[in-house]
Structure 1
Amino acid sequence: MDNSVSGQRNSIRQDPFVKGLMARLPEAERDSFSDNQLLALKVAMGARQWGRHIFDQRGTIGFWRWRYYYVFIGGRERRELSRRQKEMARQAQVIFLALFFTFSTLLGLLILYLIKSALGINLIPGFSLGIWGWFKGEFLN
């Protein structure tokens, strides 16, 4: 057999799509496909690629006489977003950042207030929010 023909046959079996397909087949059937059949399967499936998702859970559930399949997949979006999707993503980022900064600011103010109270500093004589008393009662006693 010519080395170039042998090299072509081995190259189709080294293709990432074919490797993914073979990994999903029972071991007994893996060697039953010819190289031409594998190439035809690759062409028929087109651009679909296997195993590109970080989370890929597939299975079947039997219910009486019928069987149902389920697919849960997740991963990074690789497609180009539409203009509307980009705007929604930008708005979600703005909302997330606003919530994060609000929470961080409030947490920082609370920590500063607790430090001030622990040091015994009274900015307004005779007035207290009661946070220091609650904090001491819950965490320091």
Structure 2
Amino acid sequence: MKNSAGRNESSRIFADYTISRLAPEIRESLTNRQLNGIREAIFATQSGSHHKVDCRFTVPLFLARYYVVFLVGRDRRKKTRLLEMRRNQSGNIQLAPLMSFLLLSLLICLLWLAVFITLYWLKRELGIDIFENFHLMDLLPRGVVDE
């Protein structure tokens, strides 16, 4: 086991907090060797979280404080991600592809709508009349658009 003396203070605090969340009867039944082993396991999980950009801060808003975390780094979770996908696929229907498709479709429709409205407004402002005596504004109920 590695010596935990070189670990940073936040890792020690996190490990102690995690151990304190154990039920008192379980925590008291553990030997010092077992507690140190648990601390080392917690340190090991935190030591792999090195990021190129690691920005963490809290924002006080009205009656609560919120935390913001922005991390950028190389994805080294391939094995873990594959195991998690296999576990989720056993008996579950994957909704992520469907939700991604629906969200992308919605965004594309909104983009086309914005482009159409912009082009129609531009055509109207320039006075271009593609179909004589017919305008989209004629399709709207009276009073919706004031001209």
After TM superposition, the score normalised by the length of structure 1 is 0.46
Task: Please say which structure displays the higher CA radius of gyration.
Answer: 1
After TM superposition, the score normalised by the length of structure 2 is 0.45
